[in-house]
Each structure stands twice: as structure tokens, then as C-alpha cells.
């Protein structure tokens, strides 16, 4: 096909060939107006321009494909450009944000403040994650999960039950990390159990609280769609009567031996009245949360201990009855309903495969019978130091049985992982020396068959001393290790 293109005056005729077309450029000498061509000339111009455009696009596309084919699949990091994504906030901005106590978290609703030093705010310290610890560890032996009863309200940090539990295990000296938060309930415990696995714990201890956990479970599961899988009802059950803070007429002051305290039975019925659908659904969610936590832990090889912290009112029930104190109707109903709720939940927890349940009702009631000052003299339902000590005493033998002995002085064989090879090492007083190879260990006087097999997790708390510089039985041999074990040496 031949097409005529109108060109300015004095342009010479050039013949060119394009893919799929023969183009002839002819000179035109008439100034202004259409030249001597036919009325179809403008249409021919458009066709020519379109053909040129298509030819250009095909050429550029072909060049880009060739460049992409022969270029590296990934650009060097120093040539990559990272655009700011508003959906993914900068990491350190979120980590160091001075956001105080959060009350609108989409998964936990509320969270304690962060970076609160000890003695600056009552109830501190609070670490970088908003939990009541002096530091955030890399690895923890035990992680405690719960609400303000586990945070240790009414006591200093060292008198919280997680801290007292660590004190009662002096041989194994576990690092116990407290991941509890005031205002949380069972749904938040489930969420934290998943996050707690990042610390590679040996044991999770999850403490439910009968004072408000059933109410909190319904509130979070039915108000946040992120947790709708926990729902069993088509609609949220009606909220129970709101009786907190308790009215003056609902406060019941009692004498317990040499101590006095204030009970709030009507307020605690909010989460325990077995005539309310919200109570039944709340305790069902608590049991389901426990099953899911146990499954998460089992998949990671972590052991789980469940326990139930009762209300102050139930703790004093045996003591008041022994002393012949006349019960109010609200108190009698609370004790009966809460006892039934505890029995049913405890049975469900005991039936969970691989989990262990520790009863706290009996030891706390016994402490009350023994005239131990478990609670403050006011209406506050959190224990004081001796009360938290009773909780730690009940948990200590169970947790102790689940924890391995710390590595003893001597030769060890640390297993390989996906990234690291197996190696022989020497444990000396909480430190770890690495032999360059098995031959070096033998030259230091060791028999390789005597090496104790350990995992990387087993040596996570040992201070790394590096590579043994040269074989030396006097420093790195069996006699050196034995001397460390002999107190008289």
C-alpha cells in the first residue's frame, strides 16, 4: 500500500521501509492549504502516524523484554528503593512510641503503658512490651499469662506470684517472664500464648480468674470480629447487671481472725451467676481458650499449666463458715455458683491432653483458715504479698518437675540445627567454651562418648566464651571441670 504524506516545501523525496508497509515521502511546494492531493490525504496521514506509533511501541517493548531477560533477578540492596507504606508503620516508631495505656487495640482492646521505670509509677516497672518486668528477655524458661491477679496488683514486683515462683525454684533458677496485663481476659490469654512462644519457653502458666474472666471473654469474643471463631451463639448474650464499682450498700465488712476486710459478693456475681447466659457462654469460652492454648504449646513442644484464681469471697468462704458468720443471700449464691463454675472449668482443664491443672482454691482457703493476711482490709480483690506467696507455693512443685536441670560442668555435644553444625563444648560454671573439633576435646583429656547431648535451647542461657584457644587438660579437661564441682577446691 502506498500512502502520501504532506511535507513542508523543499523537502526532498525519501523512500523508507517500515515493517509491513512501503512509505513514500513526496515533496509539496504549495504554501498553505491542501496540496494537489485528493481529499483522502488527511486520512492517510493518520494511518501513517498510527503505524509509526505501533512500530515504536513494539520496539520499546522488545528492548525491555531483552533487558529483563539478561538482568539479575534481584537488584542489589543498595539500589533498592523502599517506599513508605502507611499500612505498615516504621518499626522503631511503633516500638518506641510513647502511647501510654492503650484502650483501643484491635486484638487486645487494652494494654498497659510501656517504659515505666520502677518506683516512678505505682505498680511498675513496665517493660518495652508493656508487661511488668525489669527487662524483656531473649529466652525465658517460664511465661506467666493472666490478668491483674498475675501482674501482682497490691504488691511490689518481687511479691507478685511469678516472681515468688522463681524464688521457690533456687536449683533450676528459671527465668520467668510475666506477660499478664490488667483488664485482660481469656481471649487475650490466647493471643499472648501464641506470642509467648517467641521466647522459646519450657512452660506456660495460664491463670484464669473467676472474678471477671467469664464477663471479659464474652465482651472481647463478641465485640471484636478477630475472635469470632470463639463464638457459639448467633448473637451476643445480654450483658449482666453492671455492679462495679460496688455501691455502698453492696459492701460487706467482715472480720477474719485478727484481720478485717470488705467483700463485694453482688459485684462478683456479674461473672458467676449461673442463671445468666453470659456466664455460661463465658466459662465455655474459657475452656475453649485453654484447649487452643494447649494445642499451640504442644505444637512447639511446650508444657502448659492451667490454674484458676478464685475470688476473694470464695477464698474466705470456709473461714467464715467455720467462724459461724451469717452469710448474706448474695454471698451464699456467689459461693455456690462460683464453686460450681470452678468445678466444671477445672474438669475441662484436666481433660486437656498434655496439660496440667493446679488447684488454688484449697491452698488459698487453707491460708485463710490459718489466719494468713491474704487480702487488704478494703474492698480490693487482689491479694497482698502473703496471698501471692500461697499461689506460688502451690505452683512451684509442678513447674519444678517440668523444668530440666541446668547443664552441669563437663563435656557436652550440642546438636546441629538448620543453620548451625554440631559441636563439642565445655560447660564451666554457667559458661560455654567451644572446641574447634572433637580431636581438640580429646587432646584436652575428654572421651567423646561421655559428652552429654544437649540442644541449642539447653545452652541458651550459658555465657558464650568462644573457641578453646588450644588443648589444655589443666584448663579445659575433666579435672578442671571436676574441680569446679568441688566446693572445697
Per-residue model confidence (pLDDT) at position 43? 65
User: Rounded to an integer, what distance in angstroms lies between the CA atom of residue 243 and that of residue 246?
Assistant: 5
**Mean pLDDT along residues 33-61:** 66
Question: Angle formed by the axes of helices 277-299 and 186-196, to 10°?
Answer: 10
- Say yes or no: 346 and 394 in one domain: yes
Residue 459 lies in a domain: yes
pLDDT level of residue 51 (50, 70, 90 thresholds): confident
- Say yes or no: 395 and 414 in one domain: no
Torsion 295-180-114-218 (CA) sign: positive
Residue 479 lies in a domain: yes
The last residue of a domain, from among 402, 434, 468 = 402
CATH number at residue 119: 3.40.50.1110
- Say yes or no: 266 and 289 in one domain: yes
Task: Indicate the pTM of the whole model.
Answer: 0.80
What are 309-365's pLDDT values in tens digits?
999 999 999 999 999 999 999 999 999 999 999 999 999 999 999 999 999 999 999
Residue 125 lies in a domain: yes
- Say yes or no: 210 and 65 in one domain: no
**Mean pLDDT along residues 380-403:** 98
**Mean pLDDT along residues 255-264:** 93
CATH number at residue 433: 3.30.2390
Return the higher-pLDDT residue of 5 and 203.
203
pLDDT level of residue 472 (50, 70, 90 thresholds): very high
Report the mean per-residue pLDDT for the chain. Answer: 87
- Say yes or no: 159 and 280 in one domain: yes
Least-confidence region, from 29-38, 141-150, 253-262: 29-38
- Say yes or no: 51 and 181 in one domain: no
Closest listed residue to residue 310, CA positions, set 374, 261, 253, 247: 374
**Mean pLDDT along residues 352-379:** 97
Least-confidence region, from 11-15, 116-120, 337-341: 11-15
- Say yes or no: 171 and 205 in one domain: yes
φ, ψ of residue 378 to 5 degrees: the values are -105, -165
- Residues near 330 by beta carbon (within 8 Å), at least 6 away in sequence: 250, 265, 266, 269
Per-residue model confidence (pLDDT) at position 81? 44
Residue 324 lies in a domain: yes
Domain of 185 in residue numbering reads as: 101-402
- Say yes or no: 147 and 198 in one domain: yes
pLDDT tops 60 at residue 41: no
The last residue of a domain, from among 70, 87, 119 = 70
pLDDT tops 80 at residue 478: yes
Residue 88 lies in a domain: no
User: What residues pair up with 259 in beta bridges, in sequence order?
Assistant: 256
- The distance from CA 323 to its chain's CA centroid, rounded to whole angstroms, is 45
Residue 433 lies in a domain: yes
Per-residue model confidence (pLDDT) at position 201? 98
Give percent of the chain above pLDDT 70. Answer: 84
Highest mean pLDDT among 46-50, 269-273, 314-318: 314-318
- Say yes or no: 384 and 438 in one domain: no
In order of 149, 443, 460, 468, the CA distances from 436 in angstroms are: 49, 11, 19, 7
Return the higher-pLDDT residue of 102 and 396.
396
Residue 85 lies in a domain: no
- Say yes or no: 245 and 175 in one domain: yes
pLDDT tops 60 at residue 479: yes
- Say yes or no: 227 and 106 in one domain: yes
User: Rounded to an integer, what distance in angstroms lies between the CA atom of residue 254 and that of residue 378?
Assistant: 10
pLDDT tops 80 at residue 416: yes
Per-residue model confidence (pLDDT) at position 35? 46
**Mean pLDDT along residues 387-414:** 97
pLDDT level of residue 65 (50, 70, 90 thresholds): low
Q: CA angle, corner 286, sides to 282 and 291, nearest 5?
A: 145
pLDDT tops 80 at residue 422: yes
**Domain count within the chain:** 3
Residue 358 lies in a domain: yes
The last residue of a domain, from among 377, 402, 427 = 402
- Say yes or no: 457 and 373 in one domain: no
Per-residue model confidence (pLDDT) at position 468? 97
Amino acid at each position: 500500500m502506498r500512502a502520501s504524506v504532506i511535507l513542508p516545501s523543499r523537502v526532498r523525496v525519501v523512500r523508507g521501509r517500515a515493517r509491513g508497509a512501503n512509505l513514500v515521502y513526496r515533496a509539496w511546494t504549495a504554501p498553505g492549504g491542501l496540496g494537489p492531493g485528493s481529499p483522502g490525504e488527511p486520512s492517510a496521514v493518520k494511518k501513517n502516524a498510527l503505524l509509526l506509533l505501533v512500530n515504536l511501541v513494539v520496539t520499546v517493548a522488545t528492548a525491555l523484554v531483552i533487558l529483563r531477560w539478561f538482568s539479575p533477578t534481584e537488584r542489589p540492596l543498595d539500589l533498592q528503593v523502599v517506599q513508605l507504606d502507611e499500612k505498615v508503620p516504621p518499626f522503631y516508631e511503633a516500638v518506641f512510641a510513647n502511647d501510654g495505656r492503650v484502650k483501643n487495640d484491635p486484638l487486645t482492646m487494652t494494654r498497659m503503658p510501656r517504659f515505666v521505670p520502677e518506683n516512678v509509677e505505682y505498680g511498675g516497672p513496665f517493660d518495652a512490651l508493656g508487661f511488668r518486668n525489669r527487662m524483656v528477655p531473649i529466652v525465658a524458661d517460664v511465661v506467666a499469662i493472666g490478668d491483674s491477679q498475675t501482674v501482682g496488683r497490691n504488691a511490689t514486683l518481687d511479691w507478685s506470684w511469678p516472681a515468688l515462683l522463681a524464688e521457690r525454684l533456687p536449683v533450676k533458677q528459671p527465668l520467668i517472664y510475666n506477660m499478664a496485663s490488667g483488664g485482660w481476659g481469656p481471649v487475650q490469654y490466647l493471643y499472648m500464648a501464641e506470642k509467648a512462644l517467641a521466647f522459646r519457653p519450657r512452660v506456660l502458666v495460664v491463670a484464669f480468674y473467676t472474678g471477671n474472666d467469664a464477663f471479659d471473654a464474652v465482651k472481647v469474643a463478641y465485640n471484636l470480629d478477630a475472635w469470632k471463631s470463639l463464638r457459639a451463639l448467633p448473637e451476643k448474650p445480654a450483658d449482666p447487671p453492671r455492679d462495679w464499682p460496688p455501691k455502698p450498700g453492696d459492701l460487706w465488712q467482715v472480720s477474719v481472725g485478727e484481720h478485717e476486710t470488705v467483700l463485694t459478693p453482688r459485684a462478683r456475681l456479674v461473672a458467676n451467676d449461673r442463671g445468666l447466659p453470659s456466664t455460661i457462654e463465658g466459662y465455655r469460652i474459657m475452656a475453649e481458650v485453654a484447649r487452643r492454648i494447649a494445642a499451640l504449646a504442644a505444637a512447639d513442644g511446650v508444657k502448659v499449666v492451667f490454674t484458676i484464681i478464685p475470688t476473694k469471697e470464695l477464698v474466705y468462704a470456709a473461714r467464715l463458715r467455720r467462724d459461724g458468720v451469717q452469710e448474706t443471700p448474695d454471698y451464699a449464691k456467689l459461693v455456690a455458683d462460683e464453686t460450681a463454675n470452678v468445678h466444671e472449668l477445672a474438669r475441662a482443664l484436666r481433660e486437656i491432653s498434655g496439660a496440667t491443672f493446679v488447684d488454688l482454691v484449697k491452698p488459698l482457703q487453707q491460708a485463710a483458715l490459718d489466719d494468713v493476711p491474704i487480702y487488704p482490709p478494703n474492698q480490693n480483690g487482689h491479694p497482698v504479698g502473703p496471698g501471692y506467696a500461697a499461689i506460688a507455693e502451690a505452683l512451684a512443685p509442678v513447674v519444678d518437675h517440668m523444668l530440666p536441670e541446668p547443664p552441669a560442668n563437663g563435656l557436652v555435644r550440642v546438636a546441629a540445627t538448620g543453620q548451625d553444625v554440631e559441636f563439642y563444648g565445655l560447660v564451666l560454671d554457667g559458661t560455654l567454651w567451644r572446641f574447634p573439633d572433637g580431636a581438640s576435646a580429646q587432646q584436652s583429656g575428654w572421651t567423646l562418648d561421655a559428652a552429654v547431648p544437649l540442644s541449642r535451647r539447653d545452652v541458651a542461657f550459658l555465657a558464650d566464651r568462644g573457641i578453646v584457644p588450644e588443648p589444655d587438660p589443666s584448663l579445659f579437661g575433666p579435672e578442671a571441670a571436676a574441680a569446679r564441682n568441688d566446693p572445697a577446691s
